[in-house]
Amino acid sequence: MKMKGFYGMNKSDLPSQAGQKRQGAEINCFSCQHFYITHDLSFPYGCRSAGFKSRLLPSIEVCMNSGMDCLMFDMKDKTR
């Protein structure tokens, strides 16, 4: 039996473009200023910019549905 990854998916479950890296780095929602934790057990991750909650990281959800990398990614300020 094949084990699922941390987010409940394997890379093979994603569209072919999702496994490719964009300009040498994958999109990390935890580094995006629009990402938030919803504290909803059914949909623990959210994107304020796109306006949705998801079981998966929003960047994975966007890639699965559009076939493109997330275009709303905005790096958080690290000034804290």
Averages of pLDDT over runs of 10 residues in the chain (80 residues) are 51 48 66 94 94 93 90 85
Could you tell me if residue 55 is inside a domain? yes
How long is the chain? 80
Which pLDDT belongs to residue 52? 94
Domain interval for residue 34: 27-73
Domain count, the chain: 1
In a domain, 52, yes or no: yes
Q: What is the pLDDT of residue 24?
A: 37
Residue 19: predicted pLDDT: 43
Whether residue 13 is contained in a domain is answered as no
Query: Is position 37 within any domain?
Result: yes
| Residue 40 belongs to a domain | yes
pTM over 0.75: no
